[in-house]
Each structure stands twice: as C-alpha cells, then as structure tokens.
Amino acid sequence: MSTIVDRFPTAGGATVEVAVRSGYFGRTDPTETYSVCSGCRDSDTVDWGWDPDCESGVQRHFDEGGKRSTPIALAWAKKHASRCRTAPTI
C-alpha cells in the first residue's frame, strides 16, 4: 500500500505523483519514496536504507519516515514536472 505525498502537474497535462510505499515483499510499512509520471512513465525511487538481511533488527542507516529521502524525491518530481511535455497515458 502506498500513501500519496504530493502531485505535480506537467505542461503536457500529465501528473508526477510522489508516494511512500513498502519496497519489500512481506513488509507493509514504508521503506522508500517512489515518484512516477503519468505521461512518459519515467520514475524515480529513493530507498530509505532498509536492510532486509539485518539480523539484529537495528537499522543504523534507516531513514525512519523518509525524513531525508522524501525531500530528494519531491525535488526530482518537481524538476521532472517542469520539463515533461508528454500527455497523460490512458
């Protein structure tokens, strides 16, 4: 399941959508921020640093809540929306 963070309109009428979602099978809590354009389908994923092989359960470099990762994804989406001229796909 994903949660929409923001949407940016493109000049061509498409939308770049930014969402947080789980990037791992078997996990339901968010572990990445994902952006996708409804026009050209270009996308970007910023992983929060979840390590599925961590045996201790302590995630030293995990970006809890995407506090550092989501602003990076938002910047990508805003930049893409300002340049993409593709009309939305059906």
58 pLDDT above the threshold of 70: no
**Domain residue extents for the chain:** 2-83
Distance from C-alpha of 3 to C-alpha of 31, rounded to nearest angstrom: 12
Distance from C-alpha of 67 to C-alpha of 48, rounded to nearest angstrom: 9
38 pLDDT above the threshold of 70: yes
Give the confidence band of 56 by pLDDT, cuts at 50, 70, 90: low
The predicted structure's pLDDT at residue 34: 96
Amino acid at 28: T
